[in-house]
């Protein structure tokens, strides 16, 4: 097995994700329209998506794909041309050496769903937040109506990304990716989790109920990332089960860390308002079990996530391991 440098891997993948998002979330979608408003809407969509995300979800998609792809990956072949160059030549991403177009589309589609959920979640009728990733939130910058539409259009664009006219995308895979993403985003996934969140303000929740809320609100999309990455390659049922377990566990760890950061970090580091959970009297893992127990819980969850990878039978899960560690040790 070749040497693996997680930081190098992350930087390399992030670069592709950023360039792909920049390419696909583009005013060229509005080409041919005469009125400026759709392009202005796209500007709000780009503002919501570009510059500033951790890209954890796309990285999970890419790492899961790498884990299920047999043999040493060719992701480390130096890329000879960039996305823009490939686009200029009339081609698409498949011509950029060592990059699989399907998995890049899947990675970006998940990020668009995540970005739309943040835009809507920050709106006055939801969390009413004005700071995100160190910038004014979309509605603070562009107004509420545009924020609402930008979120809606980002969700549509996610599904458009997964169903291109490209001959390189196998239809069966396209359908599976759409299904995984739609279910994770919908009523029995992310949106349902947000509904529980809304219904829980000021109410006592048991740890069980809190877990269910987060398993939907955050966990379903994080689990979908891992499953979508796996769906871009070929994985055994045993591996899929283990990866789903990994996704759920990392999703839970992500949320516990979020709760810890909300009480222990500051606005500048976190890039968003801190201390809001306590202010809104929202139940959190910290309010429920205290900060010390919550921190110990994240370490347990990391162990369980790594165990799941061992149980998967996959030979190279180093990128997934690195991401799980990153989730637990992150400071923002």
Spacing of C-alpha 150 from chain mean position: 18
Q: Which is nearer to its own copies, 155 or 321 (CB)?
A: 155
Among 11, 50, 77, 199, binds its own copies (CB under 8 A): 199
The span from the CA of 136 to the CA of 147, in Å, is: 12
Indicate whether 244 belongs to the interface with its own copies (CB under 8 A).
no
- Stretch in the footprint of its own copies (CB under 8 A) among 68-76, 93-101, 151-159, 307-315: 151-159
- Stretch in the footprint of its own copies (CB under 8 A) among 65-73, 122-130, 272-280, 295-303: 122-130
Q: Shortest approach of its own copies to residue 81 CB, angstroms?
A: 27
Other Cβ atoms within 10 Å of 9 Cβ, number: 21
User: For residue 217, with 0-12 CB atoms within 10 Å meaning exposed, 13-18 middle and 19 or more buried, which class applies?
Assistant: buried
Among 87, 126, 130, 326, binds its own copies (CB under 8 A): 126
Measure Cα distances from 38 to 33, 43, 66, 146, 246 in Å: 8, 9, 37, 10, 40
DSSP letter at 280 equals T
- Stretch in the footprint of its own copies (CB under 8 A) among 29-37, 99-107, 274-282, 307-315: 29-37
Indicate whether 95 belongs to the interface with its own copies (CB under 8 A).
no
Q: Shortest approach of its own copies to residue 73 CB, angstroms?
A: 27
Q: Nearest-5° angle of CA 287, CA 137, CA 104?
A: 95
Indicate whether 162 belongs to the interface with its own copies (CB under 8 A).
yes
- Stretch in the footprint of its own copies (CB under 8 A) among 7-15, 145-153, 268-276, 318-326: 145-153
Among 82, 164, 240, 263, binds its own copies (CB under 8 A): 164
- Stretch in the footprint of its own copies (CB under 8 A) among 198-206, 234-242, 263-271, 280-288: 198-206
Among 13, 102, 155, 298, binds its own copies (CB under 8 A): 155
> Hey, which residues between 251 and 270 contact its own copies (CB under 8 A)?
none
The span from the CA of 303 to the CA of 297, in Å, is: 10
Q: Which is nearer to its own copies, 273 or 307 (CB)?
A: 273
Indicate whether 130 belongs to the interface with its own copies (CB under 8 A).
no
Indicate whether 192 belongs to the interface with its own copies (CB under 8 A).
yes
Q: Which of 81, 73, 82 is nearest to 103 (CA)?
A: 73
Measure Cα distances from 154 to 118, 159, 212, 295 in Å: 11, 9, 26, 35
DSSP letter at 217 equals I
Residue-wise over 185-210: b if at least 16 C-beta within 10 A, else e?
beeebbbbbbebbeebeeeebeeeeb
Size of the site for its own copies (CB under 8 A): 68
Q: What stretch of H or E contains 194?
A: helix 190-200
Q: Shortest approach of its own copies to residue 105 CB, angstroms?
A: 12
Q: Which is nearer to its own copies, 189 or 233 (CB)?
A: 189
- Stretch in the footprint of its own copies (CB under 8 A) among 13-21, 32-40, 57-65, 279-287: 32-40
The span from the CA of 77 to the CA of 97, in Å, is: 7
């Amino acid at each position: 097995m070749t040497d693996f440098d997680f930081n190098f891997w992350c930087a390399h993948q992030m670069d592709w994700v950023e360039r792909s998002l920049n390419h696909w979330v583009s005013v060229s979608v509005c080409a041919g329209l005469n009125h400026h408003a759709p392009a202005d809407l796209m500007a709000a969509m780009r503002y919501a998506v570009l510059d500033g995300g951790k890209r954890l979800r796309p990285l999970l998609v890419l790492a899961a794909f790498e884990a299920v792809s047999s043999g040493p990956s060719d992701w480390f072949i130096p890329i000879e041309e960039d996305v823009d160059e490939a686009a200029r030549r009339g081609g698409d991403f498949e011509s950029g050496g060592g990059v699989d177009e399907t998995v890049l589309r899947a990675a970006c589609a998940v990020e668009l769903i995540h970005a739309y959920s943040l835009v809507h979640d920050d709106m006055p009728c939801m969390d009413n937040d004005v700071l995100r990733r160190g910038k004014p939130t979309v509605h603070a910058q562009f107004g509420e109506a545009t924020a609402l539409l930008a979120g809606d259009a980002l969700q549509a664009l996610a599904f458009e990304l997964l169903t291109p006219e490209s001959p390189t995308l196998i239809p069966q895979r396209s359908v599976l990716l759409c299904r995984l993403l739609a279910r994770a985003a919908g009523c029995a996934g992310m949106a349902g989790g947000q509904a529980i969140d809304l219904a829980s303000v000021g109410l006592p929740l048991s740890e069980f109920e809190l877990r269910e809320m987060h398993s939907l609100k955050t966990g379903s999309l994080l689990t979908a990332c891992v499953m979508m990455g796996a769906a871009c390659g070929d994985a055994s049922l045993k591996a899929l089960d283990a990866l789903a377990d990994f996704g759920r566990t990392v999703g839970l760890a992500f949320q516990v860390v979020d709760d810890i950061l909300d009480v222990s970090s500051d606005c500048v580091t976190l890039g968003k308002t801190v201390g809001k959970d306590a202010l809104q009297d929202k139940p959190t893992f910290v309010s429920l079990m205290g900060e010390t127990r919550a921190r110990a819980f994240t370490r347990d969850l990391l162990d369980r996530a790594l165990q799941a990878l061992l149980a998967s039978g996959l030979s190279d899960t180093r990128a997934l391991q690195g991401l799980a560690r990153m989730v637990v040790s992150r400071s923002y």
